[in-house]
Amino acid sequence: SQTIHQWPATLVQPVGSPLSLECTVEGTSNPNLYWYRQAAGRGLQLLFYSVGIGQISSEVPQNLSASRPQDRQFILSSKKLLLSDSGFYLCAWNQDRDFTGELFFGEGSRLTVL
Amino acid sequence: GQNIDQPTEMTATEGAIVQINCTYQTSGFNGLFWYQQHAGEAPTFLSYNVLDGLEEKGRFSSFLSRSKGYSYLLLKELQMKDSASYLCAVIDSNYQLIWGAGTKLIIKP
């Protein structure tokens, strides 16, 4: 069966520090991978998606970046965090790029920037 | 612009029935999802509607009216574990997934 894991679950970082969130998928090949941010009172915001190794599409211009070094690994990074980067980050995968299939989410990473 | 509206919060009693509404204004429509999200956890899939009508799955049912831009999620025989946020999401004409802010459902004994 397919599983998705992301880590760390919780982190508190000072403004200006770097960030690295990792996500891995098991039990499937060539998944579409996504990074979302969820802010209180707002819908899930798509940050990046990837349809294959090294292929990254950015939905929102910001100081975050994403990479996909392996088929089932997706990384969210920042060189210098801002206060506004605080939030709940979710990694997700599916097989259907048109979203007609279910999205499977990782456990989430709660980021607090102080 | 694209918009999905859901009530921010609802309260219901254990054992009762609750209906959570979702209205959408999007550039086209290719399907609608409902997800459940417990506090601090990841969303999990509940239902997918692409045609008008009611889809029933155990205690949960989801209804869609494309002409009205409207859906609802019906939860029967409420249990305390149903306390969660319920997210409505629509696939638009560009096959982008647009998310509502979610409805926080509080179940009281």
- Please give the pLDDT value at position A61: 65
With vertex at residue A43, the alpha carbon angle to CA B74 and CA B61, rounded to the nearest 5 degrees, is: 15
- Please give the pLDDT value at position B16: 98
CA atoms of B3 and B26, how far apart (whole Å): 6
Of A42, A99, A106, the CB nearest to B97: A99
Residue B51 in contact with partner chain A when CB distance is under 8 A: no
Q: Across the interface, do A100 and B31 touch by the CB < 8 Å criterion?
A: yes
- Please give the pLDDT value at position A98: 80
Q: Which residues of B touch A90 (CB under 8 A)?
A: 42-43
Q: Across the interface, do B41 and A107 touch by the CB < 8 Å criterion?
A: yes
Question: Mean pLDDT across the stretch A63-76?
Answer: 96
- Please give the pLDDT value at position A96: 84
With vertex at residue B75, the alpha carbon angle to CA B72 and CA B79, rounded to the nearest 5 degrees, is: 150
The token pair at B62 is: 């989801």
The token pair at B27 is: 């550039």
CA atoms of B19 and B105, how far apart (whole Å): 10
Nearest chain A residue to B90 by CA distance is: A99
CA atoms of A76 and B3, how far apart (whole Å): 27
The chain-wide mean pLDDT, for chain A, equals 93
Looking at the DSSP assignment, which residues form a beta bridge with residue B61?
B56, B74
Size of interface A-B (CB pairs under 8 A): 55
Q: Across the interface, do B8 and A98 touch by the CB < 8 Å criterion?
A: no
- Regions of chain B where pLDDT drops below 50: none
- Is residue B44 within 8 A of residue B36, CB to CB? The reply is yes
Q: Across the interface, do A99 and B95 touch by the CB < 8 Å criterion?
A: yes
Above 90 in pLDDT, residue A100?
A: no
Compute the half-sphere exposure of residue B36: CA atoms within 13 Å on the CB side of its CA.
16
Distances (CA, A) of A69 to A50, A57, B62: 11, 14, 39
Above 70 in pLDDT, residue A14?
A: yes
Q: Which residues of A touch B45 (CB under 8 A)?
A: 102-104
